[in-house]
Amino acid sequence: MRLFDSITQELKYKVLREVARLAFGDKLEESYYAIPRIIVKDNDDSMRCCIYKDRAIVEEMVRVVVGAPKNPAAILDVMDIACDECPIDKYTVSEGCRGCITHKCVLNCPVGAISIKNKRAVIDQEKCIECGRCYKSCPYTAIREQIRPCVKACKINAIKVNKDRKAIIDHEKCVSCGACMTKCPFGAIQDRSFMVDAIRLIKNSENGQRYNIYAIIAPAIASQFKYAKLGQIVTAIKKLGFNSVVEVALGADAVAYNEAQELAEKGRLLSSCCPAFVSYVEKAFPALVPLISHNVSPMAMTAKMIKKQDPGAKIVFVGPCVAKKYEMTRENIKGLIDSVITFEELQALIDSRDIHAEELEESVIDNASFYGRIFARIGGLSEAVKESLKEAGITDFELKNVIGDGLDQIKIALLKLSKNVLDGNFVEGMACTGGCVNGAGCITHDVKNAMEVDKYGKEAMDRTIKEAIAPYPVD
């Protein structure tokens, strides 16, 4: 069974696994430079021009994983050495060129980059400034527009191309959703890793003697690790050294219940669950920031619940989201989350310890309601807020939700809201199309993932939202 969606994901996993293996064995510092040769062997077929470049790229990946990226302030960044394999000419002339005599492409080019040779248009790529005027003016649509996969994936124009034709991320615009990372065919965009920090927390806990360490798992986990049952994955997490595993769906229940009441009080609200959505509002629509829910995200809410009962606890979030790594550093939740790892990184941790989850007994995990669990797919938050209004006895307020499924739809909804023409009072914003089940840190992005989350949710249908959160009161 193939575990990952792509070869670039598998390469990243191998790097993560080797780093984890060395970190658990206290050999990372002394064996750091051996990893490229472990992963790219002398007799391997090269992925690029030669195995030496393959190794150089792996070495750069290792640097990112151990927490020493070129830009420590960024969650996502481009590895220049890998991006070098993606030199795309944005505009090219196809066979459809008829050699017409109007020469609109020539006349509309502001820099004289187009000429006619042998009755065909030719673009001088050295002069071309990629303005697109030739593309728009050709009567035969014979000029093709080629967009880099990373640029096409970024819906907020945060990726540009520098003078060397390498991708660069505008961190003033970037919301750390990770869409560019998943679409780059060469694996040139990597997310900053806090996996080694998580290993350090596990080891320093001394099997719970110094402090308890909790893994809080996002509900999207139900759609991942398809080679084993969820209960077996929970057991595997405990075998890594975690004292306890708690569902983030529990925090989602609390957030939904609180947001329902906040919505009824204010009349209009933007959800606060997706950190990439919140960041996008802050950067692109600052006038709408007051409408963002004052509730923290389900991740932070779950941590608050745990730390109220166990103040000395250390908490590691495990989920599909790269933006959670950015959220962890935000002032309003600093100190609640001690590390964030993705599902990709969890798989690497499990395999680095030679744990075979599919052979383990199942652990019971039963913290949340149906509604908290379906937060992982688009529309789940709105359903939970509607249920919360009902359970809270709020009958004089009607929910009119607008679902922003991906940044394209989010932009449209926010533009309408900013002009007071949005037909709705609650915006559920999810930066990843389809919801968290398609997060950049997922192992797989299967079309059936949302169905798996619903199936997981239905296992808790006998519990209301109020019943789920009752044992965990927070201020």
What separation in angstroms does the CA of 404 have from each of 123, 274, 307, 386, 412? Answer: 40, 11, 32, 17, 8
pLDDT greater than 70 at residue 1: no
pLDDT greater than 80 at residue 163: no
User: Among 273, 253, 271, which residue's Cα sits nearest to residue 472?
Assistant: 253
Provide the token pair at 298: 């389900």
Confidence of residue 68 (pLDDT cuts 50, 70, 90): confident
* Average pLDDT over every residue of 13-18: 96
Provide the token pair at 443: 């192992």
Could you report the per-residue pLDDT of 315-338, keeping only the tens digit for each? Answer: 999 999 999 999 999 988 988 999
Q: Which residues are CB-contacts of 46 (< 8 A; sequence separation ≥ 6)?
A: 53, 54
Confidence of residue 473 (pLDDT cuts 50, 70, 90): confident
Percent of the chain with pLDDT over 70: 99
* Average pLDDT over every residue of 292-310: 95
* Average pLDDT over every residue of 368-393: 95
- pLDDT for residue 336: 95
- pLDDT for residue 88: 75
Confidence of residue 187 (pLDDT cuts 50, 70, 90): very high
What separation in angstroms does the CA of 230 have from each of 31, 44, 224, 341, 462? Answer: 34, 35, 9, 18, 19
For helices 7-24 and 51-65, angle between their N-to-C axes, nearest 10 degrees: 60
Tell me if 441 sits within 8 A of 342, measured CB to CB. yes
* Average pLDDT over every residue of 5-32: 93
Percent of the chain with pLDDT over 90: 81
Query: Which long-range CB contacts under 8 A does 24-32 form with residues at least 24 apart?
Result: 24/199, 24/203, 24/352, 24/353, 28/66, 28/196, 32/62, 32/66
Pairing of strands 76-78, 189-191: antiparallel
User: Among 436, 453, 463, 438, which residue's Cα sits nearest to residue 317?
Assistant: 436
* Average pLDDT over every residue of 116-145: 92
| pLDDT averaged over every residue in the chain | 93
- pLDDT for residue 471: 87
Confidence of residue 395 (pLDDT cuts 50, 70, 90): very high
**Cα separation, 8 vs 188, whole angstroms:** 9
Could you report the per-residue pLDDT of 190-239, keeping only the tens digit for each? Answer: 999 999 999 999 999 999 899 999 999 999 999 999 999 999 999 999 99
User: Among 112, 118, 127, 124, which residue's Cα sits nearest to residue 98?
Assistant: 118
pLDDT greater than 90 at residue 89: no
Checking phi first, is residue 130 left (phi over 0); if not, alpha (psi -120 to 50) or beta? Answer: left
pLDDT greater than 70 at residue 277: yes
* Average pLDDT over every residue of 176-200: 95
pLDDT greater than 70 at residue 475: no
74: three-class secondary structure by DSSP: coil
Provide the token pair at 104: 């609109």
Q: Measured on CA atoms in the order 36, 42, 47, 52, is the torsion positive or negative?
A: positive
- pLDDT for residue 394: 95
- pLDDT for residue 141: 92
- pLDDT for residue 210: 96
Q: In the beta sheet, which residues pair with residue 213?
A: 314
* Average pLDDT over every residue of 258-281: 96
- pLDDT for residue 43: 82
- pLDDT for residue 332: 87
Pairing of strands 314-319, 213-217: parallel
End-to-end CA, the chain: 46
